[in-house]
Structure 1
């Protein structure tokens, strides 16, 4: 099983920024908004899963990518 690290997450952010033609900071801002929306989602399943993965803290975009990809179940 492949394990992603924070270093891998930073590489992913750079690749996505390059593909979309925007800066890494813009990608981080978009991810921060998406993370907040996921964290504040009122659906019980989503709330439970977010808490299971991240506890009470809001992850950075790098932490989110690293933890989410390592816990992805197709």
Structure 2
């Protein structure tokens, strides 16, 4: 069965204001909700968003922001899990 982009849903999104790192919770069709780290959305000089780029290696700023956001991510992911 081929990949269908219409079945790929972003359920929740966080973005680090300093580094542009994006973390999302996604679900494909009726599958399990999963966390994705990246891409990174940087700003142009005029303040508008550039095209997304790979997250690449994480800086200490990324790690500290991820650490501060982790409880919210964990709570959201837990709420989205379906009982067996």
TM-score normalised by structure 1 residue count: 0.29
Question: More helix per residue: 1 or 2?
Answer: 1
Question: More strand per residue: 1 or 2?
Answer: 2
The structure with more radius of gyration: 2
TM-score normalised by structure 2 residue count: 0.26
